[in-house]
Amino acid sequence: MIRDFEVTVLGNTSSIPAHGRNHTSQVIRIGQDLVLLDCGEGTQIQLRRFKVKVSKISHIFISHLHGDHYLGLVGLLSSYNLSRRKSPLFLYGPPGLDDIITTHFRHSHTELSYSLHFTATDPSGMNQLVDHPNFKVFSFPLRHRQPTTGFLIREKQGYRNLIKEKLQKQKLPLEAIHSLRKGVDYVGADGSFYSVREYCYPAPPLRSYAYCSDTIYHPEIIQYFQNVDLLYHESTFVEADSARAAVTFHSTAKQAADIAMQSGAKKLLLGHFSSRYGNLEPLLEEAQSVFPESILSVEGDTYQI
């Protein structure tokens, strides 16, 4: 059984909301877990609109402290409190995010019903933030006007699938089955030996997703996410506005495609579109001219990783 691993886009617009598009946020489903990447204003409304099980979100990652990437966070944390959430929540983001949250809650006299664990990200290098039974999350540096990190989510090996026909022929001890499912060859006390290779189907390849929220075109970042199954890279501007992209430390769609190609990504998801573009097709065309496996992110759409 292959576990779910998919991303739902909640917002795909940059800076000033326009054309009915919302600020950046994405929810990742990996097995039974939900993880949120960035949390622009209105994220809790988008989550409900797209019928995401909000209470299932266990980890939230904030890339940087520009309003369009984090201003929905205090509202979401407050709503968890109003619904008397009990399960802990793990939050990762730039230093200062904790001060912002505690300042809000101090003035609104809010005492949370759940434990909120904050870990500051460090944009000076790549760091492992989470080691969950099913996945790992890393932060890595991006280059923007603010200290900013991207995030890499790597699936971990799940239980192996046993070859039923083999098991029907032979009666394996229960300990052997447990061991094989975990991907470990079994040697019994009696000298019996069962190998994963013989009794299990080949493990499906482990998938990965890289998220590059806001960054100038900066090919050095590709070292952090080689050969991912899906790359999200911001693509704020068309090529004709590349000077504006450089000044604002953003990328063009073509530059995003270039990063996808150089890093060996299988697919590229575009987003963080400037409010100056009502029609997004030119961004897609420019990206596809470099990297054909480029797609535009659409709010509410889910992409398999």
Interface pick for its own copies out of 2, 51, 84, 109 (rule CB under 8 A) = 109
Catalytic residue (one of 38, 68, 214, 258): 68
Q: In this structure, what is the dihedral angle of CA atoms 233, 235, 240, 244, given to the nearest 10 degrees?
A: -100
CA angle 69, 75, 76 (to 5 degrees): 80
Q: In this structure, what is the dihedral angle of CA atoms 17, 20, 21, 22, given to the nearest 10 degrees?
A: 60
> How many binding residues for its own copies (CB under 8 A)?
37
CA distances from 92 to 50, 225, 267 (A): 24, 19, 26
Q: In angstroms, what is the minimal distance from the CB of 108 to its own copies? A: 4
* Cβ closest to its own copies, residue 75 vs residue 204: 75
Does residue 107 interact with its own copies by CB under 8 A? yes
Does residue 84 interact with its own copies by CB under 8 A? no
Does residue 42 interact with its own copies by CB under 8 A? yes
* Cβ closest to its own copies, residue 246 vs residue 295: 246
Q: Which helix (H) or strand (E) holds 186?
A: strand 186-187
Does residue 261 interact with its own copies by CB under 8 A? no
Interface pick for its own copies out of 37, 52, 63, 72 (rule CB under 8 A) = 72
Q: Which of the 8 DSSP states describes residue 145?
A: S
* Cβ closest to its own copies, residue 107 vs residue 164: 107
Site for its own copies in 221-260 (CB under 8 A): none
Q: In angstroms, what is the minimal distance from the CB of 110 to its own copies? A: 8
Whether 95 contacts 124, CB under 8 Å: no
CA angle 295, 127, 293 (to 5 degrees): 15
Give me the residue label for tokens 């501007």: 237
Q: Which stretch binds its own copies (CB under 8 A): 99-107, 148-156, 166-174, 176-184?
A: 99-107
Q: Is 241 a catalytic residue?
A: no
Whether 24 contacts 249, CB under 8 Å: no
SS3 at position 170? coil
Interface pick for its own copies out of 9, 29, 41, 237 (rule CB under 8 A) = 41
Whether 31 contacts 3, CB under 8 Å: yes
Sign of the alpha-carbon dihedral angle for 213, 215, 218, 224:
negative
Q: In angstroms, what is the minimal distance from the CB of 7 to its own copies? A: 22
Does residue 112 interact with its own copies by CB under 8 A? no
Residue 13 in tokens: 């617009």
* Cβ closest to its own copies, residue 70 vs residue 217: 70
Does residue 120 interact with its own copies by CB under 8 A? no
| Backbone torsion region of residue 38, taken as left when φ is above 0, otherwise alpha when ψ lies between -120 and 50, otherwise beta | left
Does residue 20 interact with its own copies by CB under 8 A? yes
Interface pick for its own copies out of 55, 83, 113, 223 (rule CB under 8 A) = 83
Does residue 18 interact with its own copies by CB under 8 A? yes
Active-site annotation, residues? 68
Q: Which chain residues interact with its own copies by CB under 8 A?
A: 15-18, 20, 22, 41-42, 44-45, 48-49, 65-68, 71-72, 74-75, 78-79, 82-83, 94, 96-97, 99-100, 103-104, 106-109, 145-146
